[in-house]
Amino acid sequence: MYINPERIEHVVSLGIACMVAAHVLRLCGIPWTYAFYVLWSLTVLIYWRNARAKVSTVGKAVLVTGCDSGIGLSLALRLDQLGFRVFACCAHVDERSASAQALRRNGSQRFHVLQLNFNDDLQIFEVFARVTQLLARDGRILTIGRTCERTTCHETQHYLISKAIFDAYDKLLRQQLKHRGVKVCRIELLSPNTSEPQLDPSAPTRGKANANSRYIFADVVRNRGESDVSEAVEAHVKALTDAFPLNKYFSSIPY
């Protein structure tokens, strides 16, 4: 079973607090070891009980983008099964779109398929207007990132820069929406990097980077279509249904 590192950090923090409390109780004549283990056991038990608590899906709604394929499509149908009202946003929703037709066919009466192209400001406004008409307030925002276990030298700088930007964005968004009761969670998709292709060492550096980028992109697209996305879907479900959500959730699948 995979344990979220944020959970481990919380448990360790509870242990440190219990150590301090045990020192205080020792002044009252209670043995330090006894006090520490009793306090830590009780606090960890309460913590894990709260960590397993779930929110009710009744009356809750979720807007999912990128439902044309992959994780977005599977997640939208999974959330519908759990009882959420789902707004599934697709780039194409006409009769020629097999994904949109599948969503309409398999979704319940609570299911909504919406046209959303992020390059079209009008479509963004239309989706916003339609959703806000049906919902009184928003409660949680999920962003998605990718963590590479291995990176090549020329990829590392781009990866670290982009990751730092998205981490800062999540942190800022979390602070801005805290007073409104809105939680911001990141879904980290853990995936080993693809092996670097064999390129001509005499080729220009820019040419190597471009060729390697095309190779990686093609491999990611291929893995995305063939791999099982159920683990990533369940990571999203946890982030949406945990009564006390974490800042980050992890899923170890190729993406």
Task: Considering only residues 87 and 147, tell me which one the structure prediction assigns the higher pLDDT.
Answer: 87
Task: Considering only residues 90 and 229, tell me which one the structure prediction assigns the higher pLDDT.
Answer: 90
| Residue 103: count of CB within 10 angstroms of its CB | 25
pLDDT for 85 beyond 80: yes
Q: Which two tokens stand for residue 42?
A: 């009780």
Burial of 44 (0-12, 13-18, 19+ CB in 10 A): middle
Indicate the pLDDT class of residue 128, thresholds 50, 70 and 90.
Answer: confident
Indicate the pLDDT class of residue 158, thresholds 50, 70 and 90.
Answer: confident
At 154 the pLDDT is 55
Scan for tokens 């911001």, then name that residue: 184
Architecture in CATH of 56-136: 3-Layer(aba) Sandwich (3.40)
Query: Span 61-88, mean pLDDT?
Result: 89
Query: Span 143-156, mean pLDDT?
Result: 63
Query: Span 136-153, mean pLDDT?
Result: 69
- The segment(s) of the chain belonging to CATH 3.40.50.720 are 56-136
Scan for tokens 């923090």, then name that residue: 13
pLDDT for 224 beyond 80: no
pLDDT for 182 beyond 70: yes
Query: Span 11-15, mean pLDDT?
Result: 94
Task: Look at residues 112, 118, 64 and name the one whose alpha carbon lies nearest to residue 91.
Answer: 118
Query: Span 45-66, mean pLDDT?
Result: 89
Indicate the pLDDT class of residue 253, thresholds 50, 70 and 90.
Answer: low
Task: Output the pTM of the full model.
Answer: 0.72
Query: Alpha-carbon dihedral of residues 37, 41, 47, 50, nearest 10 degrees?
Result: -160
**3-state class (DSSP) for residue 53:** coil
Q: Which two tokens stand for residue 83?
A: 């009882």
Query: Span 204-214, mean pLDDT?
Result: 43
At 150 the pLDDT is 53
CA atoms within a 13 Å half-sphere pointing along the CA-CB vector of 64: 30
